[in-house]
Structure 1
């Protein structure tokens, strides 16, 4: 397909079939945004081929961009040769007003400038042509340099251990393998320049990054779906693409995979790399005793380079990549990172791209590159959650005791700077527990808080409140990162938790106090205060937990944000162990600004992006982006307008006005009216009818009421009733049975007339589940799912936005936020029904407040354009019945 570009040139968009008009519009606008270096917000409903449009539009631009660069280089070279020849054939008859020596000087200067420009272009071209060949050599240099530094560090550590052991009397003797737990000498404050120089040296041997597109999505399955679309596209054979994933998703070492949690897998992977080099050092030192340590057989540079080359042979998703890695016995995690510089498309989870330190560690460079963030409706929440942090009193106490034990064990072997920073961390932990009203010397499970409640403080106020304002948190954070103290501490606790003999400790002043509490933490089946995601069964059957200090490091890092960008919530409840400190990130734009600053262009795309004001105000304009750089695009659906019937219903069958506010929704007459509406809809809606309630609490209240009044029994006569399960593991089972009943009801003599599914907005079935065709012929939204405005976090967010953003049509920014959160949830839920061109469904919004123009404007365009407002139930029922009659479905008179 060919369309006219903004510059009146013809742009070719290869497509696997004849694209829909909305796909042509999408690709044309996307091409324009990338060409002009702007930031685009693109909305294209699910089922309209959004992924394929993104692929063909962006790769067509990349193809043309690279061709223009080649043509420009050729033109510059041609111009240089032409001007050189022209300078030799200057018309000597033309009189010159300048002296000869000036003319000659200018001529020579122009000639030299042109020669330099030509040489520069030739050099750039040569470097590009030799890029793939140079990568192996460059990475070998980098790999060797990194290995040399690690070996030097290990030698120094072993020498230190030998000196300590030979000196005698300086602390207890170290057990086998324990020397790796001791912190090495820390000199980062003085060696910052040296480290920067080493980083620059590493950059010198790294390969130049070609212009590329970073494609990000939220989940692993969405990324796999994108890869499959890329494989089927016209660009699938010629594009160099690589998929990135975490160690948890890409590790092929079964011994490491069995650890389960991401943090444990990361730590074991790095430890095994280190062991590989430490073994060589011990042999070179001529030791008779060789320590047998586990090394990773897949961490082979030659095999990883071979796998890197295989990545570019054809586009692969993570599963295909892991399968290939097992065959060639190479690590896909590192092989894919070697492939980033030469790749044209990099496919990755957007958490990996949006988190600054993760981005740098992965080798991702955004300078002058293109970033496409798909499924971006939760982007603000993702960034906010990524840079927020919460730590319980139990975790603070556990980390304090572990670190105190570590310091006692290795005090004589630690340099002064290490001891200084450890004491500072212990001081911080003690004060943080004090801020919760506790004492680190006592069991936090038995320390009752004086008064329950939540107090919200600015960062500076919290630092004064907890009496740690005299500590340089930036230096402490840098120390934690560079010394890897949390990993050392985790190894320390792992070693002595599973050992037969415990760590030598000072006797506790109170029996059954903190030491007994910590001993219980190490041996009972469930660790208090540690998230389930950080637990894993160890060799002795007891749970293995990542050190709580890792979680605390995130909290310390959060406290280094600017005072106005976040708040600290002091949450006191029950005991000190149950209480917590939570950092709430209020300004996600400060972190997204780094992406906007570096990239040539950023595209934020999704099936449902309305309302877009949140993205514009909170992410883009707040990050300093000029409004004229922002482009909005929203396309319709591929379905014909007659295939969708959205209705705002203001009143029920008995003329009871529908208003599901907190004050009115529990009234018996309101719940009865809702039941009557569903009973009538069950008469005319074929297949599946999906009902969304605003919360689990209200779903329980209204279903219990219907059970008492007998409505549930009457509904079950017409459609089999299903309810969203409480456990995520049961979702597939419920959906499978729901689907089976609907298929049976479509057959002659089948039972009932379909099924009725009760779900919750924001629950397990409001996002990611497709109710296509007969699975969702009608979606009913009961009320408006406003968030809990009493939440301290939400109140502070509203106050923050009121302070930094202007009013919109007289409405405060905080109030706009509440409406936007509500309508985002609604849009995600009602968009579950229409999934492809031949699909059709009715959408019924039960609440008269949906008829307000400001609320209607926040619906997706393809729904808003067809929405009918029905003040009374009769006309609404008639429209629904006629809609399905036209689709040649069943029709039953109303009750």
Structure 2
């Protein structure tokens, strides 16, 4: 506890000892740590004490900027006891002054931006036009002065970018240098779980994988995140972009019997055939060899011929990417992407992937990764790892899902805040179960009436969480907003981060009179934003957010039923509980917070063994009485 900067709360000393012992011995630990347990500072102290003893470094992975800022805040407190240098890293979209100023480059992938950056640096070093003035200025900087500034201030990523902007430096280049000196690096998930970026980061930090302790914050997100990292797709819009590239760069042959345009036409035809034959609702399972057989038949070729075709597409795409980079444009080639898709699709491990057709405005062929271990297995080579979240129970499910060893330490530390400060109610008279909603035409109006009554009586900030945008849109279409006598804010589909934060800020600013916010379970509001004190006092969950029974979901359930004999539990029950727990967890962020949740779904009682809740037949009265008991005011 030498590094711990506060008076310890109950269980914190034990928590830190457990972390230090595991990570000092290259082991792994999975922890559910409730609100108020101080998991960020405990994680830093425990891993740092292990790192300082063993010569390791600490990589603290976060999902959001606010979580990364909290890491730096706690590291500053630790530095009041002992000097421990750390930095916060963000992607080039945030740190590169050129890319931040160019809207055409903001959407670039890490690989694309790295390539463009490399080309601009090359031109700068050779005094050619089109280089980067920020890189040139950085080479002339007083690096000792800069390092001393960072050691003394331990800046957040945003503060460091602002400091560099004032000096005319490139923050990204300087962070690469500072990472070598840092004992702690805070970074987004992508810096470790995307191989291309991980290899660069290890090089910057001058550390081998075995000498790195990895902390995964909000770890309940990791399985889905890593599945997405390994998934691959080809959309109709991407094929339209291939056509534009053909018009600009030409249409060479990629087989004796086919040009790029021929492949494009056939891929569009295959997507349409898959939509007609296999789509059910929003997606559909397609036969494993559907695309391969279609292409081989169309061009009278073999599976080896498909690999030759894919290689030729990627080679043409590489020429396009190189030319764009030299011109200072985003080095993206959709022809290269088409070749990469065909290569990946025809060679993937079908035990770990499912092949899907996705409907909608942009029909898409998708190879969805079922097994996070394809990505997370890299953790087994680390010098220990800590995985933590406020909603991680059952811990064995998380351990199994991401492939941690059987000797992984498992621990739970509940919130120290008074349990009586939070109440959860559920109703028996409604559900969002599809069959019942279809049979009972009064079901949705009944739920709408509950929402309207609660919002109109409770003059407290209230978030209404929906299981999907579709149901939220149904409420809005039914004029529910007009029936609520308070200001209603809406988290709209596709809303940008800045716009969303403005909505949240306005909602929080009306806490005295009480506002309403419509949001979606599992989204940014339910998982990534704090609502302390009276910023949020009432949460309404409009239905248990079970996943839709899509082809992808059914394939996932089959995979885990085959692997662990726990398909339903691991892919439906556990994720659903975590989503609800995250949303309800927004209510209590400090020891003096008071809040209540109402779940409009009789199925909620299935989770009562993990979350204390009571049935209510009069939700408005029960809410009024709860707040009157705690505050004297209903």
Cα distance, 1:686 vs structure 2 = 5.0
2:299 pairs with 1:469 = no
Cα distance, 1:27 vs structure 2 = 1.9
Alignment-derived partner of residue 664 in structure 1: 436
Alignment-derived partner of residue 367 in structure 2: 583
Aligned to 2:242, which of 383, 392, 399?
399
Alignment-derived partner of residue 775 in structure 1: 535
- Segments of structure 1 that go 5 or more residues without pairing to the other structure are 1-11, 67-209, 280-290, 412-418, 439-443, 496-537, 539-543, 651-656, 746-753, 808-812
Alignment-derived partner of residue 591 in structure 2: 837
Cα distance, 1:29 vs structure 2 = 2.4
State how 1:246-645 maps to structure 2 within 5 Å: 246-253=91-98, 257=102, 259-261=104-106, 262-263=108-109, 265-278=113-126, 292-299=129-136, 301=139, 303=141, 306=144, 309-310=147-148, 311-312=150-151, 314-326=153-165, 329-364=168-203, 365-396=208-239, 398-399=241-242, 402=245, 406=249, 430-431=262-263, 433-437=265-269, 451=276, 453-454=278-279, 456-457=285-286, 462-467=291-296, 469-471=303-305, 473=307, 484-491=318-325, 546-549=332-335, 551-552=337-338, 555=341, 558-559=344-345, 560-571=347-358, 578-596=362-380, 598-620=381-403, 625-627=404-406, 629-645=407-423
Cα distance, 1:777 vs structure 2 = 1.8
8 Å Cα contact 1:611/1:820 also seen in 2: yes
Alignment-derived partner of residue 518 in structure 1: none
Tell me the SS of whatever aligns to 1:645.
Answer: strand
Distance 1:395-1:661 versus aligned 2 partners, 3 A rule: closer
Q: Tell me the distance in 1 between the aligned counterparts of 2:275 and 2:339.
A: 28
Distance 1:482-1:635 versus aligned 2 partners, 3 A rule: farther
Tell me the SS of whatever aligns to 1:701.
Answer: helix
8 Å Cα contact 1:33/1:40 also seen in 2: yes
The CA deviation string for residues 239-268 of structure 1, in whole angstroms up to 9 with x for no partner, is: 122333322222234897565423464443
The CA deviation string for residues 116-143 of structure 1, in whole angstroms up to 9 with x for no partner, is: xxxxxxxxxxxxxxxxxxxxxxxxxxxx
Alignment-derived partner of residue 41 in structure 2: 52
Q: Tell me the distance in 2 between the aligned counterparts of 1:31 and 1:618.
A: 24
State how 1:212-223 maps to structure 2 within 5 Å: 212-223=57-68
Distance 1:431-1:798 versus aligned 2 partners, 3 A rule: farther
Distance 1:430-1:706 versus aligned 2 partners, 3 A rule: closer
Cα distance, 1:425 vs structure 2 = 13
Q: Tell me the distance in 1 between the aligned counterparts of 2:134 and 2:515.
A: 54
State how 1:685-764 maps to structure 2 within 5 Å: 685-702=458-475, 705=478, 713=483, 715-716=484-485, 719-726=486-493, 727-728=495-496, 730-743=499-512, 745=513, 754-763=514-523
Alignment-derived partner of residue 242 in structure 1: 87
Cα distance, 1:352 vs structure 2 = 1.4
8 Å Cα contact 2:526/2:586 also seen in 1: yes
Alignment-derived partner of residue 27 in structure 2: 38
Alignment-derived partner of residue 299 in structure 2: none
Q: Tell me the distance in 2 between the aligned counterparts of 1:395 and 1:757.
A: 35
Q: Tell me the distance in 2 between the aligned counterparts of 1:868 and 1:567.
A: 38
Q: Tell me the distance in 2 between the aligned counterparts of 1:51 and 1:374.
A: 8
The CA deviation string for residues 835-863 of structure 1, in whole angstroms up to 9 with x for no partner, is: 111111122223222222xx334x4xxxx
- When Rg is computed on C-alpha atoms for both structures, the one with the higher figure is 1
Tell me the SS of whatever aligns to 1:665.
Answer: helix
How many residues end up aligned between the 2 structures? 612
Distance 1:759-1:427 versus aligned 2 partners, 3 A rule: same
The CA deviation string for residues 358-395 of structure 1, in whole angstroms up to 9 with x for no partner, is: 21133353223210011222111111111212222453
Q: Tell me the distance in 2 between the aligned counterparts of 1:391 and 1:799.
A: 24
Cα distance, 1:340 vs structure 2 = 3.3
Alignment-derived partner of residue 869 in structure 1: 614
8 Å Cα contact 1:645/1:841 also seen in 2: yes
Cα distance, 1:833 vs structure 2 = 0.9
Q: Tell me the distance in 2 between the aligned counterparts of 1:552 and 1:617.
A: 34
The CA deviation string for residues 573-624 of structure 1, in whole angstroms up to 9 with x for no partner, is: 89xxx5432221122202211222x11211111232245454222212xxxx
Q: Tell me the distance in 2 between the aligned counterparts of 1:218 and 1:425.
A: 47
Cα distance, 1:567 vs structure 2 = 2.7
Q: Tell me the distance in 1 between the aligned counterparts of 2:548 and 2:219.
A: 23
2:424 pairs with 1:646 = yes
The CA deviation string for residues 467-506 of structure 1, in whole angstroms up to 9 with x for no partner, is: 36215859967995999545225358x69xxxxxxxxxxx
Q: TM-score, length-normalised on structure 1? A: 0.61
Distance 1:837-1:846 versus aligned 2 partners, 3 A rule: same
Q: Tell me the distance in 1 between the aligned counterparts of 2:629 and 2:582.
A: 27
2:605 pairs with 1:821 = no
2:547 pairs with 1:787 = yes
Q: Tell me the distance in 2 between the aligned counterparts of 1:831 and 1:564.
A: 36
Distance 1:308-1:842 versus aligned 2 partners, 3 A rule: same
Distance 1:366-1:297 versus aligned 2 partners, 3 A rule: same
What is the alpha-carbon root mean square deviation over aligned residues?
3.9
Tell me the SS of whatever aligns to 2:303.
Answer: coil
8 Å Cα contact 2:537/2:595 also seen in 1: yes
Q: Tell me the distance in 2 between the aligned counterparts of 1:820 and 1:52.
A: 27
Cα distance, 1:18 vs structure 2 = 1.3
Distance 1:213-1:688 versus aligned 2 partners, 3 A rule: same
Distance 1:800-1:449 versus aligned 2 partners, 3 A rule: closer
